[in-house]
Structures are given as structure tokens and as C-alpha cells.
Copies of this chain bind each other. A is one copy, B any other.
């Protein structure tokens, strides 16, 4: 078997069998296949895609490239939630405590901010003392005690995925549906989950700009899970405007606290409850999804999700008081208001621009080495559909340094569209797959 022949065949649209995919993935992981052949193969995959058997084989190989975490000592159904990444997307920090407080075991493996999208780990680390770098034993311990624990990607889990991702990032092959699907699913399945709820974002602030692509990604991930006997459901949700009002790490923790006490934004609350409900339902705690929705709603209203999050913050070394006293969180030193130039309706708030502006003032990273400023970000004062007067505040930028502030402010201004007529109402949850 020769690598160049396999590249040729993928390039020409042929399907590779399991042995051939294994030759590539294992050869690359062992360093026998050079980067330059793998990147050409990945670009061919970008153009020609992968069949369901191909992507399942790839996922399985990446999963098996490292350790798989055994959580069988902890009783109960393990259910994780994963978002493909958005702007202001803090649903993990709401849905996971709600599901855990309803009895679901939630081993949360989260990621970091990437480009204009935020990362759950960075948000958690804005809580003073919070440790995301637990050992696997500590992780098991917190999970066993509270039914919920947060951890980052460890180098032992699916290491092949790490190598593939770094190569894709440098070679313009990130945005490939089968490569995204196998990357996500290999890391999730290495944790010994029973079920997964996926939140596939679509719109300007998401990696998937079009619903048809988001649907293909959702279907592919659901298919991978099914072929491995896991229960998987995917929501396709709108990411044209930021989710909730807050974008930025500590700012989002504040909004999580508000939402878990029933005072959160409508869109964020709705989506978090729907995701929590599906986690509860897939964990077989209820017979129907409607019952699960009732439970998730009650766990929000009675404050048990809120308490659960506090307990886990404390268990992972953080100060749980931050949820009540926001002054304990890192706070920005300056505020810049962006106002509406004219009266009208907010017809669009471009999530990508808001995310980029937030990244520019330090809430995200340009390169992996950049240090996040947890205090900074953007708080919207309006959402799409709202009527505004001329001069009304559309949003506020919270900053600590002024060096890229003007550019960021310009980007935020450009993100808003004010129209004479009210825009059509938009759905938040567009589709369910699985």
C-alpha cells in the first residue's frame, strides 16, 4: 500500500476501506507518513468528502490513538453536551448543572476560545481559583461526588486528533464536515459516554455558515454515534446574532449566574433548557422528552442547577461566591458605548463581527500562545427585532487596554443593522437531527 495511491484515489472520489484509512491514520500518528502527504490527503477530503463508513473508521482510529477514559466505576448514564462553537454561547455552563441536578452524570470535556468563538474552559478560568487541569483521578472524583465535572482536552485522549487538527489549522482544511465530525466525536467517545447532545451552530458567528452544511455535519455525527451504539441527538441552532447578551469570559459567567437564577435572556434560557432536557431524556431519566423538559425547567426555577454549579466550582478550587457577587470576578476598567445612529428596528447583529471585536480587545486569542483577558468583552443592550430610538445604546464594550479599542468599536458598529421595518421573526432552534 502506498500513501500516494490512497491520496490519488480519494482525490478521484473513490471510497477507501477500513484497512486503507488505518494505514493512513496509524502511519501518520507513528510519523511514517509525512505531513506533506497527509495535508494533501486532507485537502482531497475537503473537496471529495468521506462516506459514512470512512468517517466512522477515522473516528474509531483517532479515538483509539490514545487512552480511553473508563468511567464505569461511576454509576449512572454519562451524557455530554457539545457545541460546534459560537459567540456568547455559554449554554454548557447552564445545561450541564441542570442535567446533573436531575441525576445525569455529565463528564464535560471542553475546549478553549478559537478565533472569534469562545471556549468553556476560558470562561470557567475567569472564576478565581477554578482549575480546569484536573488529573483524570481528580476528574473522576468530582464527577462521582457531584455528577458534573469540567476538564480540558488531555493529551492522552485522542492524540491523533491533536496532530490532525494542528495540520488542518495550518493548511486550510479545518472546514471539512467529515474532519470536523470525526474530530469532535473521537474525543467524546474516548470518554466512555452513553449519549451526547450536540448543538450545531449555523450562521455568521458559526463555522458552518449555511444550514445545509450544518445538517450534513449533524447527520454525520449522529451516524458516527449510532454506529458505535451511542444515543446521539443534534440541535441545529441559529448563530447569526450572539446568544444572550454577554460575550466575554467573566461577563458570560455573570450571565450564567443570572440565567441559573431565572433572570437570564430568553434565547439563552430556552436553548439551555432544551439541551438539558435532551440530556435528561437520553440518560433515560424520563420516558418522554416533554417530561424531561418539565424537569429541566423545575431545576432552573427551584435553584438546584444554580447550587449544582456552585458546588462544582468549589470542588474544582474556584470561589463559588462569584455567582452572587460579580465584583469578585475580574472586571474591566473602561466602557465604550455604541449607540444607534438613527431610529428603527435592529434587523441584524453580526455574531462574527461581535466575536472578532471581543477577540481584538482580549477576550479571545489570535494565536494559541495569546493570553486571554478574562474581564473584557461586549454586552449587548438590544437583540434582533427590537425597536430603538436614535442615540439609544446598542451595546457596551468592556476593555482594560486601549490599543485595539478603536478597531474593535468600529467592528461592533458595523455589526449592527438598523432598518425602517421590523425584521422577520427568527427561530432559535432550527432543526433536530437524530
A residues whose Cβ falls under 8 Å from a Cβ of B: 3-4, 7-8, 11, 34-40, 42-44, 46-47, 167, 169-173
Contacts of A47 in B (CB 8 A): 43, 47
Between A and B, 30 residue pairs with Cβ closer than 8 Å are A3-B170, A4-B169, A4-B171, A4-B172, A7-B171, A7-B172, A8-B172, A11-B43, A11-B46, A11-B172, A34-B36, A35-B35, A36-B36, A36-B38, A36-B167, A36-B170, A36-B171, A37-B39, A37-B170, A37-B171, A39-B40, A39-B43, A40-B42, A40-B43, A40-B171, A40-B173, A43-B43, A43-B47, A44-B172, A47-B47
Question: In the docked arrangement, what's the CA distance between A115 and B173, Å?
Answer: 30
B40 & A172 in contact (Cβ 8 Å cutoff): yes
Question: In the docked arrangement, what's the CA distance between A311 and B44, Å?
Answer: 50
Contacts of A44 in B (CB 8 A): 43, 172
Question: In the docked arrangement, what's the CA distance between A42 and B33, Å?
Answer: 18
Question: In the docked arrangement, what's the CA distance between A118 and B40, Å?
Answer: 28
Nearest residue in B to A9 (C-beta to C-beta)?
B172
Contacts of A37 in B (CB 8 A): 39, 170-171
Distance of A45 from chain B, by nearest CB (Å) = 10
Nearest residue in B to A169 (C-beta to C-beta)?
B4
Nearest residue in B to A35 (C-beta to C-beta)?
B36
Nearest residue in B to A173 (C-beta to C-beta)?
B40
Question: In the docked arrangement, what's the CA distance between A3 and B39, Å?
Answer: 14
Question: In the docked arrangement, what's the CA distance between A37 and B37, Å?
Answer: 10
Nearest residue in B to A38 (C-beta to C-beta)?
B36
> What is the interface of chain A mostly: helix, strand, loop, or mixed?
helix
Name the residue in A7, A171, A173 with the highest tally of chain B Cβ atoms < 10 Å from its Cβ: A171
Contacts of A167 in B (CB 8 A): 36
Contacts of A171 in B (CB 8 A): 4, 7, 36-37, 40
Distance of A209 from chain B, by nearest CB (Å) = 12
Contacts of A34 in B (CB 8 A): 35-36
Name the residue in A38, A39, A40 with the highest tally of chain B Cβ atoms < 10 Å from its Cβ: A40
Contacts of A7 in B (CB 8 A): 171-172
Question: In the docked arrangement, what's the CA distance between A47 and B44, Å?
Answer: 8
Question: In the docked arrangement, what's the CA distance between A173 and B10, Å?
Answer: 12
Nearest residue in B to A42 (C-beta to C-beta)?
B40
Distance of A235 from chain B, by nearest CB (Å) = 28
Nearest residue in B to A47 (C-beta to C-beta)?
B47
**Contact A4/B36 with A11-B43, A44-B43, A47-B47 known, Cβ cut-off 8 Å:** no
Name the residue in A34, A37, A172 with the highest tally of chain B Cβ atoms < 10 Å from its Cβ: A172
Other A-B pairs, 18, CB within 8 Å; known A11-B172, A35-B36, A36-B167: A4-B169, A4-B171, A4-B172, A7-B172, A8-B172, A11-B46, A35-B35, A36-B36, A36-B38, A36-B39, A39-B39, A40-B40, A40-B42, A40-B43, A40-B171, A40-B172, A43-B44, A43-B47
Contacts of A3 in B (CB 8 A): 170
Question: In the docked arrangement, what's the CA distance between A4 and B366, Å?
Answer: 14
Question: In the docked arrangement, what's the CA distance between A46 and B10, Å?
Answer: 13
Distance of A10 from chain B, by nearest CB (Å) = 8
Distance of A28 from chain B, by nearest CB (Å) = 11
Listed from nearest, the 8 A-B pairs whose CB atoms lie closest are: A7-B172, A40-B171, A35-B36, A43-B43, A39-B40, A36-B39, A8-B172, A36-B36
B43 & A4 in contact (Cβ 8 Å cutoff): no
Contacts of A46 in B (CB 8 A): 11
Question: In the docked arrangement, what's the CA distance between A43 and B173, Å?
Answer: 11
Distance of A40 from chain B, by nearest CB (Å) = 4
Name the residue in A42, A43, A46 with the highest tally of chain B Cβ atoms < 10 Å from its Cβ: A43
Distance of A332 from chain B, by nearest CB (Å) = 30
Contacts of A36 in B (CB 8 A): 34-36, 38-39, 167, 170-171
